[in-house]
Structure 1
């Protein structure tokens, strides 16, 4: 008997700037040296050159997002070759790194400007309510591989860190309007100054997405719309800088009777950074997040989350560096059990997470760096957890880095693991595991990152992870199924990407992810959540044409999914951009150019839903 537990459970839950901004540096204008010098912060929680980061990290730049034609955050994440991104239907995605992909993927930590956006219902992300104004994104840092030492439980297979630009970089006005056969959208932003050293921006956007279809062309009732507005203010004076930002949104999704799904929310974040003597830095961040979700006839949820984090970065003589800190997060989760099919019991739950971490980087020689770190975390379900990490980086040449790492990561229990019951009233056929423990991963990595002259860059990583106590479906002698921890397994593979600058105006980029997994458990609990292709690859061509015009072509090949079977597919996306003036730009994007439709993931109550060919024309004006 083979059961995909995540899709089973979630199927029950879900039921179904200024003008110069538009003349930003073109892809062809960015040299390999500039790309390698991009600063990343996710690897060590402190700024460092991408070329020197000892991890499998890919940076999606603001220019790459613009040239892709992406209109949503999940579509922008397709640019990262070390992520697995599959569209389930009109509003849902399965996104993971290094396997275990599902609509309840739970081994990826996702942050937006330092705010964790996961839900304690299943330790994953509701992607339909995660949005930013893409024109304001500075970069998206994507780590594939464990990062629990710095980013906590659930950063088992990776971290997605969405970083928006300071409001000082987005002064002026911008309006973006777009329409196509499957979606329409409008966004506006205004930025300005206050006082001598303060800057702000406010924005609002709305998007409408058409319904999806089955392979036979019949419509699925899942059309949806989203509205969002927000602000950001930054002020720097002397050695202090302060950021305050927030967003509010509402989402409405069609479904079959008895009514439309709705989701609403708001968040507020404040961050204070003080520069200390000798290059040290102190950061204090706090945020509050409220979400509300209603699925008529099934369930409702009200979730309030608060968090406070402190981080101290200390540079030492001789190229050493220490980063340490801690944090506390709490959540009040209130579920309205509306269906006789399932229930969360108890319906209301208050949860706590506390942590302390430290990581020290030491230069053993001018070319050799050792990084050792650890985190102690405590959560309401499994108590204390230890997450250590060791990394060794060898600069074999100025532009060539070899690195290796070993990590122990933890996926802490969620409410679905402990408190999910089917049906809603006894006698139960399926029950959450009262003794469900944290899932454990031990990962070894060996990687390389290098540049060859002014034309070629390459990054490659070999990885091997062993997993213990993965979620299983156990059959008790009483005949009741219970969620337990009786699956062990391993995942190993290679991920690589690189770019080749053929001419100053033409650049090619390619990426590949190949992996194999093997799991062991009893007859009932043989298959853990996840449906992953053995191989996926992508090839992108960015060409700067004459007259401020650009042409981008992206090809991606995704292998077949085994359970339930989804055929392999090849998608070709084309974008044509025309900068008519310093303040006016037109973009035409055609997705799935060569296929009328294809399937990507089988996790919808409507069956396998097709992703259709689409065209989208957008106009951006800055003034």
Structure 2
């Protein structure tokens, strides 16, 4: 898809589609900073119940990030803004590229071949449109077409929400709600910042309001380009960092003779620009028509193009690889007297591992349709709904030839899901509220039905205190690689024939979650929020090898190695226990403090650890099936403590000073295959000076950010912005880049 085609589709969609509700407030007329604590507690939130309600009364663990809070904080991307939210783990991999997890449960089993760093257990939406990556799960954040200037607010639910939002809402839900035009004929807003590491970030939007403010339009464009703080890459073979020309493939190399391995040549396509961290742009347009209080129609569409160097755990030479994407989306929604209809789609092309030597490029299209109705009977509100999703991925156009098995799926792969669900909300008394949500999903892969539910109760003894409890069951949705992988390399003629295969009998990951919470306004200046959670998650995906034949195979001796990797469900069960606390203190209208932290433990039961890898005698090329030991241990990749603090000070109307810090405790990253292969061989063969690879020990990390801004005209301001103020060079994610300070100057425009 080229840029001209995308722009043409954007214009055509806006001319032909007349429905989507942006679910957004009249944001540009509200100054959240000057609101009282009581007003802030009663801001409207939609995500928790799919209807507007007071954020204080929200029955689940939830948060709102307002656009003013994001602007004040100096966050340079939507991803970085999640550092303002309790319960989020936000780790930077390279300049501007982040790994984001809600509460953890990330990369289980640790570093397995099936896993990518993107969080496949959380659902991200833009105006209710799902932006989940269905190839392998998770969110490719650089592919979001919208930017910070487009954001009105971000609503967050921590904890299982599949019964309300569908599959993948296991650890939580994020809904990025975009702006709509103000109640004036024309307005503009934007942001431009430039700084170190060749960083340029720009956003601009123009808004119009017509027909007595009933019809509103908005068009925006954004651009972002950054360089890495280093040009080195992690080398699996020796565990050091260096130029990409020193990298060696750990899967095909001989660690007993590392000098005999062939390094990469200069100008390799994966590393054609080793300095680049991110290069992206997006164009978006919105149309909203408010016919009456109970009838509104909206539409949006956009394009994006992006390239990013980010950690990709399947890289057999190094985890940091290049990913490229271009896509077009549309989103529409109608609200008519309680009936809500949403129809959205996303179409594009991605190459998830540029230059890998495999056909990792594919076309995809996702279509979603949702129909819901709000029906109120006295103190009972019932919300039935239907949804349908069809997802298609196809790499046929990029294969070397029609008979090739060089691609991940080698043809078209389709996932579909039809669901029906019901949510009941009953105000049993002035103090007691009871909520139940039930959902049944029918999948084509696996060909099975999954029933999920959510039971919630809140008790509000007075206006300043709320107690809540919930019990939920949630599941992750299917992804393409689990069921459709169909890749081959080598051949019997050259001595090695390897297959990578999906599995029609995979079960979806499921989680059962118990939560208890308390929210209270202790004084006029002080609010606290506590949430305790316990979850049991099972049926994680893993990717394991089986030797079907070899020269030394006892049951099937062959003159060549025949090896098959298969997706399957791991026996491991993750039991997570945690507590999140947050405090909001506003001693005056000039000063606000926030502090939040999560302490958690993720215990893994029956984790399969390789005692021996496949290659046990490299000199004689002797292979055997790996042997495993089931162990119980604490998952060390999720930090045991993470949190942050912010202070926002406005001494005079025009001057704003923000300081924030984020902290997480030490972590250990282990890449299963690189570790088991080299540590076994180095131990058995006593390789002199060989230190092994595949393990990254990360120290506890504190990142301090600051921004000072000054209004020069109305709501437009100039600013200086420091991310990682003290230039800490600690790595924030395993096998990723050393971080550096990012220092920027810029201007915010709001006219």
Q: TM exceeds 0.5?
A: yes
Q: Secondary structure at the match of 1:418?
A: helix
**Which structure exhibits the higher relative contact order, with contacts defined as CA atoms closer than 8 Å and separated by 6 or more residues?**
1
1:231 correspondence with 2:285: yes
Q: Secondary structure at the match of 2:482?
A: helix
Give 1:551-566 correspondences, 5 Å limit.
Answer: 551-563=657-669, 564-566=696-698
Q: Measure, in 2, the Cα distance between the counterparts of 1:576 and 1:23.
A: 22
**Per the alignment, do residues 599 and 386 of structure 1 end up closer, same or farther by CA in structure 2, a change over 3 Å counting?**
same
Q: Secondary structure at the match of 1:611?
A: coil
In the alignment, which residue of structure 1 is the partner of 2:237?
none
Q: Measure, in 1, the Cα distance between the counterparts of 2:464 and 2:660.
A: 28
In the alignment, which residue of structure 2 is the partner of 1:310?
371
Choose the corresponding residue for 2:304, options 249, 254, 263.
249
Residues 264-288 of structure 1, C-alpha deviation per residue, up to 9 Å, x if partnerless? Answer: 111111111112xxxxx11111112
Residues 45-69 of structure 1, C-alpha deviation per residue, up to 9 Å, x if partnerless? Answer: 1111111111110111111101111
The 10-residue stretch of structure 1 (189-198 or 423-432) with the greater mean CA deviation from structure 2: 423-432
Residues 179-214 of structure 1, C-alpha deviation per residue, up to 9 Å, x if partnerless? Answer: 111311222211112444211111112111112425
Normalising to structure 1: TM-score of the pair?
A: 0.89
In the alignment, which residue of structure 1 is the partner of 2:743?
615
**Per the alignment, do residues 188 and 412 of structure 1 end up closer, same or farther by CA in structure 2, a change over 3 Å counting?**
closer
Choose the corresponding residue for 2:37, options 32, 36, 40.
32
**Per the alignment, do residues 148 and 462 of structure 1 end up closer, same or farther by CA in structure 2, a change over 3 Å counting?**
same
**Per the alignment, do residues 111 and 594 of structure 1 end up closer, same or farther by CA in structure 2, a change over 3 Å counting?**
same
Question: Which is richer in strand?
Answer: 1
Choose the corresponding residue for 2:327, options 256, 265, 270.
265
Give 1:360-371 correspondences, 5 Å limit.
Answer: 360-371=424-435
In the alignment, which residue of structure 2 is the partner of 1:523?
609
Q: Secondary structure at the match of 1:610?
A: coil
Q: Measure, in 2, the Cα distance between the counterparts of 1:583 and 1:609.
A: 37
C-alpha deviation, 1:588, in angstroms: 1.2
In the alignment, which residue of structure 1 is the partner of 2:226?
209
Q: Secondary structure at the match of 1:65?
A: helix
1:154 correspondence with 2:165: no
1:345 correspondence with 2:409: yes
Q: Secondary structure at the match of 2:362?
A: strand
Q: Measure, in 2, the Cα distance between the counterparts of 1:475 and 1:269.
A: 42
C-alpha deviation, 1:496, in angstroms: 1.4
Give 1:280-359 correspondences, 5 Å limit.
Answer: 281-294=338-351, 295-296=354-355, 297-298=357-358, 299-317=360-378, 319-335=379-395, 343-359=407-423
Q: Measure, in 2, the Cα distance between the counterparts of 1:146 and 1:105.
A: 14
Does the CA-based 8 Å contact 2:145-2:283 persist in structure 1? no
Choose the corresponding residue for 1:455, options 525, 529, 535.
525
Residues 286-305 of structure 1, C-alpha deviation per residue, up to 9 Å, x if partnerless? Answer: 11211211324441021111
The 10-residue stretch of structure 1 (429-438 or 305-314) with the greater mean CA deviation from structure 2: 429-438
C-alpha deviation, 1:547, in angstroms: 5.0
Give the number of the structure whose alpha-carbon radius of gyration is greater.
Answer: 2
In the alignment, which residue of structure 1 is the partner of 2:578?
493
Gaps (5+ residues) in structure 2? 1-25, 108-116, 234-240, 245-273, 311-316, 492-496, 549-562, 611-627, 670-695
Does the CA-based 8 Å contact 2:149-2:191 persist in structure 1? no
Choose the corresponding residue for 1:380, options 440, 444, 448.
444
Residues 540-562 of structure 1, C-alpha deviation per residue, up to 9 Å, x if partnerless? Answer: 11111225101111011111112
The 10-residue stretch of structure 1 (147-156 or 290-299) with the greater mean CA deviation from structure 2: 290-299
Gaps (5+ residues) in structure 1? 1-19, 276-280
Does the CA-based 8 Å contact 2:707-2:721 persist in structure 1? yes
C-alpha deviation, 1:471, in angstroms: 2.1
Aligned length: 592
**Per the alignment, do residues 528 and 167 of structure 1 end up closer, same or farther by CA in structure 2, a change over 3 Å counting?**
farther
Q: Secondary structure at the match of 2:726?
A: coil
In the alignment, which residue of structure 2 is the partner of 1:16?
none
Q: Measure, in 2, the Cα distance between the counterparts of 1:227 and 1:391.
A: 41
Give 1:399-414 correspondences, 5 Å limit.
Answer: 399-414=464-479
**Per the alignment, do residues 36 and 175 of structure 1 end up closer, same or farther by CA in structure 2, a change over 3 Å counting?**
closer
Residues 346-396 of structure 1, C-alpha deviation per residue, up to 9 Å, x if partnerless? Answer: 431122111111110112222111111101111221221101110111002
C-alpha deviation, 1:417, in angstroms: 1.8
C-alpha deviation, 1:475, in angstroms: 5.2
Q: Measure, in 2, the Cα distance between the counterparts of 1:92 and 1:341.
A: 32
Q: Measure, in 1, the Cα distance between the counterparts of 2:440 and 2:340.
A: 20
In the alignment, which residue of structure 1 is the partner of 2:593?
508
